[in-house]
A and B are shown apart, each in its own frame.
Chain A
Amino acid sequence: MLRTLLPTFLQLLLHGLTVLLLPPLIPGLIAKTKALMAGRQGPPVLQLYYDLAKLARKRVVFSRTTTWIFLAGPVGAVAAGLTASCLVPFGHTPAPISFEGDVILFAYLFGLARFLTILSALDTGSSFEGMGAAREATFSALAEPALFLGFAALARATSSLSLGTMLAFPGTLTAKFTGPLILVLAGWAIVYLAENARIPVDDPNTHLELTMIHEVMVLDHSGRPFALVLYGASLKLLVLGALILTPALPRAAAAWQNWLVFYAALAGLAVAVGLVESAMARFRMTKVPQFLVAGMLATGFAFLLMLV
């Protein structure tokens, strides 16, 4: 009894610890890559951990216009991210909770987080934050179909609606459906950049409110709520990263090898994002929808390939 349960329990523990502790490392890796590419020393890789610790101790400033809904954004984003992390497999390690149809819950949890973030931005009554909220709503509504069409293609390939089976389909996925899989992953890479507010969709380091998307929505957050915002953003990098990495990862025999492969791939993804950010400038705001539609077309085409 103990012998069969113990590995499962350890896996769950590792999954939970990864979700709770690892996320702030990813933005650090991205920033370090960018700095090295630009020939700078850059902030330490653990910078976000220091920031979070500092923000947790700082005094909070609230706008007079705001209500309790102002806090719903940060809290909702973290809660939805943590919940969604229970549904997604990390590499070929199965997800803690898995059932038919969990993929829909997964997608809608991110919808919930976004909805609450938009509401908390509108709660300040600032026209800049309203503008950011409108952009976020528009761009994410364009990114959503790309995500869904990718799910539809994978569901058709695996005859399953459970993330565990769809993403970590034993072996055959990469062999049998190579073409559609590449298209899906290409489309999802675009979704990944857009959803996480990275270049070329949004520049996390921009300094002019008028040109921001995600950053402008959290202008009025400070202290602990802002710590939650930052942590939620890094959590999203991890969870969506697991989503787009898993189908491409090789399956190892032992559990610890699977974990190692996953961690290595995650670090590789962070470096790749950093490289993209170093190599490109951000698009003009009017170009962003075209970029997202390209993602939609890629996954849509994959879906069509699966249908015929």
Chain B
Amino acid sequence: MLDVALVLASSGCWFAGALLSTASRVSERWTLGLGLLGALLAWGASVHLLLGAPASSLTFQAWGHPARLELDALSAAFLLPLHLIGGLGLIYGQRYWPVQGHRAGRTLRFFYGMLVAAMTLLFLARHGLLFLVAWELMAVSAFFLVGTEHERPEARHASWIYLACTHTGTLLLTAMVILMAHRMGGLLWVPLPASTSPWFEGGILLLAVAGFGFKAGVLPLHFWLPSAHANAPSHVSAILSAVMLKTGIYGLLRVSSLLPAIPRGVGGTLLALGALTALYGVGNALAQRDYKRLLAYSSIENLGVITMGVGLGWTGRAAHDPWLMALGFGGALFHVWNHAVFKGLLFYGAGALLHATGTRDMEALGGLAHRMPRTTLVLLPGVLAVAALPPFNAFLSEWFLYRGLFVSLDRGYPWSAALGLVALALAGGLAAVAFARCFGTLFLGQPRSAGADHAHDPASAMLLPMAILAALCLAIGLGAFLLLPLLERAVAVVAQGAPPLLGLGLGRDLRLLAWVELGLLLFVAAGYRWLRRSAQEPEPLSLPTWDCGYAVPVPRAQYTGSSFADAWAPVQLGLRAQMPKLRGLFPGTATFRQVFREPIGEAFLEPRVAHLAERLLRFRRLQPGHLPVYIFYVLLCLLAVFLWMLLRERLLG
């Protein structure tokens, strides 16, 4: 009771802060203070719950029917990243997007607060209608946030596509809620006792995967995501990618936890879908020149990895295998946390770069490590984490999934596990290539433009959130065994009836792993120590880079990111090169262009949708714009309803 009230109060704080931010006379400190208070309240309650407090709930009457808000371990596991990134984003946004000088400053603050408040409610709701209302509030707030810079056509376009997608998703979710209400005897969400038919559960799960898949960016429903993330202000991109995409995963986990059983085969299918999503995301990430789009595609990859974990857990539930459930769901939830931490960090870093240089094109930048040394230092852990390298956090969640996949290999699911293993290994390798390219092109070498040459570190209000997240990347990487009991509580909600196995099965391994990682850090420290010049040694010589005798170093001649990823053209699905045709011994001037178009959204869907819209123009006549006509339509509808009510008895008997 107390815990859920605290989280409710936190949502209220964010809401009040959002409202206050619209008033021009109120100081911005109020918004900041209320938001941080809300974040602390939610953190307190969630940590209390994950450490072992029982789930607390609140029942009340809504629209004349009972409704319930509940805080259990699964909700708490999602509230932690929400309020971490939400709170840090609030601090970051103070300097990144000051109210003075930006027209949309107040709208941005209002909808940011609304987004966090709505998501907090979403994680508490145990009632179909309440869930949908919170879902819509979140979706609409995110729409306004993506369109913050609505004077740019690109941002408008991105936000409209997002709105269309999220509403299609909501439509499917409404169908799912109705189907569930049909069986649960009301909109209140209660666990279903026994399975009646696998078709019923299969139908609900199908609707859930499609509806929540739009939010989680599961292939092929991901196409709204890259442009929305690229065009939103960076701290908004951070919370969209770190938390809002995860509401899709939350929905999948929550709905499946209410069902009595998972049909066989659904888990394996979801695992395969996740594997394909991961490969698709990372392949296209390799092709990006816009670093924010690259991060968005990497989010698709990571959501694919999380989906693989959920699929693995569902396979475990279908087979009644507690160990598989623990590893699958545990890996998925752990990766939800880790992805929130490092992707938040990377999007904040992208914001710092955008702030300092004014361009999102990474091939116009370079050499920023000299000009933005602090940003480089705090971003490197994030880059290593996103490539899933030890000793940082994402390595550990992928380690969970590898173990789960190997277990499922032993338990008679060889094909889905084999696909998952190959996909996970390949996605890790390609992510390393993509981010070596990204970091190398942005920070190393020499600046390729004047904008990059004059870049500088951002204010400490922007650096502080990044530093906190970078420290968390390392701390989670080393102290993962401390998080096992917390994960165990959250997994217990999803994997009903399974005994707690994570601590027993992984505790020793994770402790040893932490020691090995500590050893690695010690070796690194010793190496740097050995390289440090002692006092009596001569000063190191400082010369230009060795350029094989060609002594006219031009920054433009550096290797570009596109050439770096050139060998991987076959996996960069959306990349099209426009090659000139060279004829004769002395061909004239020629140009070469490479364009990236999102393969499913821009290349496939957009022309078809435009064609359809043109066809539908003939129905325009129904909308003449005169008020009497619309009143006439309303009248017709009412008449039709009356007729139906009169005739229903006779027609249906």
Using a CB–CB cutoff of 8 Å, the interface residues on chain A facing chain B are 59-67, 69, 71, 74-76, 78-80, 82-83, 86-87, 97, 99-102, 104-105, 108-109, 111-112, 114-115, 118-119, 122-131, 133-135, 137-138, 140-141, 144-145, 148-149, 152, 155-156, 159, 161, 209, 219-220, 223-225, 228, 303, 307
Give bound CA distance, A125 to B439, whole Å: 13
Inside 8 A of B367's CB, which chain A residues have their CB? 65, 125
28 contacts between A and B (CB under 8 A): A60-B540, A62-B540, A63-B546, A65-B445, A67-B370, A69-B369, A69-B443, A75-B531, A82-B523, A83-B516, A101-B402, A104-B399, A105-B513, A108-B388, A108-B395, A108-B428, A111-B428, A123-B440, A124-B445, A125-B545, A125-B558, A133-B564, A137-B564, A138-B568, A145-B422, A152-B418, A223-B540, A307-B415
The answer to whether B512 and A131 have CB atoms under 8 Å apart is no
Inside 8 A of B553's CB, which chain A residues have their CB? 125
Other A-B pairs, 17, CB within 8 Å; known A130-B440, A130-B563, A131-B563: A64-B543, A69-B376, A75-B524, A83-B523, A87-B516, A97-B515, A100-B403, A104-B403, A108-B389, A108-B428, A109-B390, A111-B432, A125-B445, A133-B440, A137-B432, A141-B430, A228-B527
Mark contacts of B520-542 with chain A using CB atoms, 8 A cut-off: 1 yes-contact digit, 0 otherwise: 10011011101101000110111
**A83 and B432 in contact, given A128-B547, A134-B564 (Cβ under 8 angstroms):** no
Give bound CA distance, A62 to B533, whole Å: 13
Mark contacts of B295-312 with chain A using CB atoms, 8 A cut-off: 1 yes-contact digit, 0 otherwise: 000000000000000000
Using a CB–CB cutoff of 8 Å, the interface residues on chain B facing chain A are 366-367, 369-370, 373, 376, 380, 384, 387-390, 395, 398-399, 402-403, 406, 409-410, 414-415, 418, 421-422, 425-426, 428-430, 432-433, 436-437, 439-441, 443-446, 508-509, 512-513, 515-516, 519-520, 523-524, 526-528, 530-531, 533, 537-538, 540-548, 553, 555, 557-559, 563-568
The answer to whether A307 and B418 have CB atoms under 8 Å apart is yes
Give bound CA distance, A152 to B414, whole Å: 11
The answer to whether A224 and B530 have CB atoms under 8 Å apart is yes
The answer to whether B540 and A130 have CB atoms under 8 Å apart is no
Inside 8 A of A63's CB, which chain B residues have their CB? 542-546
The number of residue pairs between A and B whose CB atoms lie closer than 8 Å in the complex comes to: 221
Across the interface, name the chain A residue whose C-beta is closest to B511.
Answer: A99
Inside 8 A of A126's CB, which chain B residues have their CB? 545-547, 558
The answer to whether B541 and A141 have CB atoms under 8 Å apart is no
The answer to whether A123 and B369 have CB atoms under 8 Å apart is yes
The answer to whether A86 and B422 have CB atoms under 8 Å apart is no
Inside 8 A of B384's CB, which chain A residues have their CB? 112, 115
Give bound CA distance, A152 to B542, whole Å: 48
Contact of B566 among A67, A79, A134 (CB under 8 A): A134
Inside 8 A of A71's CB, which chain B residues have their CB? 528, 531
The answer to whether B558 and A127 have CB atoms under 8 Å apart is yes
**A74 and B527 in contact, given A65-B367, A161-B403 (Cβ under 8 angstroms):** yes
The answer to whether A99 and B509 have CB atoms under 8 Å apart is yes
Contact of A125 among B376, B425, B555 (CB under 8 A): B555
Closest-CB distance, B613 to chain A (whole angstroms): 42
Closest-CB distance, B542 to chain A (whole angstroms): 5
The answer to whether A119 and B538 have CB atoms under 8 Å apart is no
The answer to whether A144 and B425 have CB atoms under 8 Å apart is yes
Closest-CB distance, B531 to chain A (whole angstroms): 5
Closest-CB distance, A74 to chain B (whole angstroms): 7
Closest-CB distance, B557 to chain A (whole angstroms): 6
Inside 8 A of A122's CB, which chain B residues have their CB? 436, 440-441, 444-445, 559
Inside 8 A of A123's CB, which chain B residues have their CB? 369, 440, 444-445
Give bound CA distance, A115 to B384, whole Å: 8
The answer to whether B369 and A67 have CB atoms under 8 Å apart is yes
**A119 and B436 in contact, given A69-B369, A83-B519 (Cβ under 8 angstroms):** yes
Closest-CB distance, A195 to chain B (whole angstroms): 13
Contact of B406 among A61, A62, A155 (CB under 8 A): A155
**A108 and B546 in contact, given A61-B541, A122-B440, A138-B567 (Cβ under 8 angstroms):** no
The answer to whether B399 and A105 have CB atoms under 8 Å apart is yes
The answer to whether B559 and A104 have CB atoms under 8 Å apart is no
**A228 and B389 in contact, given A60-B541, A115-B432, A134-B564 (Cβ under 8 angstroms):** no
Give bound CA distance, A123 to B545, whole Å: 10
Q: Which of B415, B526, B531, B533 has the most CB of A within 10 A?
A: B531
Give bound CA distance, A97 to B515, whole Å: 10
Q: Which of B519, B542, B555, B564 has the most CB of A within 10 A?
A: B564
Give bound CA distance, A131 to B567, whole Å: 11
**A119 and B389 in contact, given A59-B540, A137-B432, A141-B429 (Cβ under 8 angstroms):** no
Give bound CA distance, A69 to B379, whole Å: 12
Across the interface, name the chain A residue whose C-beta is closest to B508.
Answer: A99
Closest-CB distance, B181 to chain A (whole angstroms): 43
Give bound CA distance, A61 to B545, whole Å: 10
Give bound CA distance, A79 to B517, whole Å: 10
Give bound CA distance, A66 to B373, whole Å: 12
Give bound CA distance, A114 to B433, whole Å: 10
Give bound CA distance, A108 to B396, whole Å: 11
Inside 8 A of A66's CB, which chain B residues have their CB? 545
Inside 8 A of A86's CB, which chain B residues have their CB? 516, 519
Inside 8 A of A80's CB, which chain B residues have their CB? 520
Inside 8 A of A159's CB, which chain B residues have their CB? 410
Give bound CA distance, A141 to B373, whole Å: 30
Give bound CA distance, A112 to B388, whole Å: 9
Across the interface, name the chain A residue whose C-beta is closest to B410.
Answer: A159
**A105 and B390 in contact, given A65-B367, A123-B369 (Cβ under 8 angstroms):** yes
Inside 8 A of B537's CB, which chain A residues have their CB? 59
Give bound CA distance, A99 to B515, whole Å: 12
Inside 8 A of A149's CB, which chain B residues have their CB? 422
Closest-CB distance, B601 to chain A (whole angstroms): 27
Give bound CA distance, A280 to B458, whole Å: 55
Closest-CB distance, A76 to chain B (whole angstroms): 7
Inside 8 A of A130's CB, which chain B residues have their CB? 440, 445, 558-559, 563-564
Across the interface, name the chain B residue whose C-beta is closest to A161.
Answer: B406
The answer to whether A79 and B524 have CB atoms under 8 Å apart is yes
Give bound CA distance, A231 to B367, whole Å: 29
Across the interface, name the chain B residue whose C-beta is closest to A109.
Answer: B390
Closest-CB distance, B592 to chain A (whole angstroms): 17
The answer to whether A125 and B436 have CB atoms under 8 Å apart is no
Q: What are the nearest 6 A-B pairs in CB distance?
A: A130-B559, A125-B445, A122-B440, A79-B523, A75-B527, A141-B429
Give bound CA distance, A57 to B452, whole Å: 38
The answer to whether A156 and B520 have CB atoms under 8 Å apart is no
Inside 8 A of B566's CB, which chain A residues have their CB? 134
Inside 8 A of A104's CB, which chain B residues have their CB? 398-399, 402-403
Inside 8 A of A82's CB, which chain B residues have their CB? 523
Inside 8 A of A223's CB, which chain B residues have their CB? 540
Inside 8 A of B519's CB, which chain A residues have their CB? 83, 86
Inside 8 A of B445's CB, which chain A residues have their CB? 65, 122-125, 130
The answer to whether A133 and B390 have CB atoms under 8 Å apart is no
Across the interface, name the chain B residue whose C-beta is closest to A107.
Answer: B425
Inside 8 A of B380's CB, which chain A residues have their CB? 69
Give bound CA distance, A271 to B476, whole Å: 44
Across the interface, name the chain A residue whose C-beta is closest to B527.
Answer: A75
**A220 and B545 in contact, given A119-B444, A133-B436, A145-B422 (Cβ under 8 angstroms):** yes
The answer to whether A128 and B548 have CB atoms under 8 Å apart is yes
Give bound CA distance, A66 to B369, whole Å: 9
Inside 8 A of A152's CB, which chain B residues have their CB? 406, 409, 418, 421
Inside 8 A of A131's CB, which chain B residues have their CB? 559, 563
Inside 8 A of B565's CB, which chain A residues have their CB? 134
Q: Which of A71, A82, A104, A159 has the most CB of B within 10 A?
A: A104
Closest-CB distance, A164 to chain B (whole angstroms): 12
Across the interface, name the chain A residue whose C-beta is closest to B557.
Answer: A127
Give bound CA distance, A140 to B415, whole Å: 25
Q: Which of B387, B433, B555, B565 has the most CB of A within 10 A?
A: B433
Give bound CA distance, A176 to B342, whole Å: 45
Give bound CA distance, A15 to B258, whole Å: 53
Closest-CB distance, B377 to chain A (whole angstroms): 9
